[in-house]
Amino acid sequence: MRIVFITQDDPFYLARNLDYLLKKLPPYAKVVGTVVADVSPFGKRESFREKAQKTYEIFGLPFFLRYSLKFIASKLNRQNSVRHVLEHHQVPLIQLEGNINKPESLQKIAAYQPDLLISIAGNQIFKRPLLDLAPLGCLNLHTALLPKYRGLMPSFWVLKNNEKYTGVSVFFVDEGIDSGPILVQRQVEIGTRSQAELIRHTKQIGMDAIVECIEKIHAGTYQLIENDATQMTYFSFPAREDVKAFLAAGKRFY
């Protein structure tokens, strides 16, 4: 099974999780290439200055300083980078210019002859020609219990909304947003976790869920879970007022 990953150059969580995933893949699953996009935490492409300014304005000074220092540390220590992990596992980078759905991008990905695409923190909407490149489809990891909490930053919203449980969902991507049929879903008790703790916990569970999906697809016997649109909730990036409510409710970012 030839797999192409689609991810982003996240400096905080992804490197460790991708290393964990690559070590746990079954022997018949080979990652033949990875698309690594620039980080876009606000759901759209912005300059570094715009990202920094938005982070400060929405989340406040303590959050901004903490993650600025973590960002600098990640840049100084290349071993914590997504690209270093991929290089360590001898996974080629697929260099794209611009949107992943462009014909030129599709040609480059198709050259790797993927059987399966897997999006982990992919930050673009995938259109049908991309989804049709791999005969086994395209999987995406979402750290929430779909169909609830579609969209951005589910770890923030489940805490703000005082949910007792969250989880991970790995689903087959369609042309909607977090709307495809679910292959594997796991529930997680939130407890007293901070947002950072919850992200770390759910992302590792998500890696195990991806391995389970690969095994199910390889076996060819699985049952899909409906991603019922009538039960969906959708959340975009929080505003400053949402962050104030989050903190007022006693929730912690870290």
Distances (CA, A) of 93 to 9, 16, 135: 12, 17, 21
Q: Residue 32: what pLDDT?
A: 98
- The angle, 0 to 180 degrees and rounded to 10, between the axes of the packed helices 240-248 and 48-59 is 40
Domain annotation covers residue 55: yes
Contacts of 17 (CB under 8 A, 6+ apart): 120, 203, 204, 206, 207
State whether residue 116 is helix, strand or coil.
strand
Structural domain total, the chain = 1
Domain annotation covers residue 47: yes
Domain annotation covers residue 205: yes
Q: Residue 40: what pLDDT?
A: 58
126 and 173 in contact (C-beta within 8 Å)? Answer: yes
Domain range for 166: 2-248
State whether residue 171 is helix, strand or coil.
strand
Q: What is the pTM of this model?
A: 0.93
Q: How many CA atoms lie within 13 A of 137 on its CB side?
A: 17
Domain annotation covers residue 254: no
Q: How far apart are CA 41 and CA 38, in angstroms?
A: 10
Q: Residue 44: what pLDDT?
A: 54
Contacts of 112 (CB under 8 A, 6+ apart): 2, 4, 32, 33, 92, 94
Residue type, 164: K
142 and 118 in contact (C-beta within 8 Å)? Answer: no
CATH of the domain at 50: 3.40.50.170
Tokens in use for 239?
């505003």
Domain annotation covers residue 253: no
pLDDT (tens, 9 = 90+) of the chain, 254 residues, equals 999 999 998 889 999 999 999 999 999 999 999 999 876 554 556 777 888 999 999 999 999 999 999 888 888 887 779 999 999 999 999 999 989 999 999 999 999 999 999 999 988 899 999 999 999 999 999 999 999 999 999 999 999 999 999 999 999 999 999 999 999 999 999 999 999 999 999 999 999 999 999 999 999 989 999 999 999 999 999 999 999 999 999 999 99
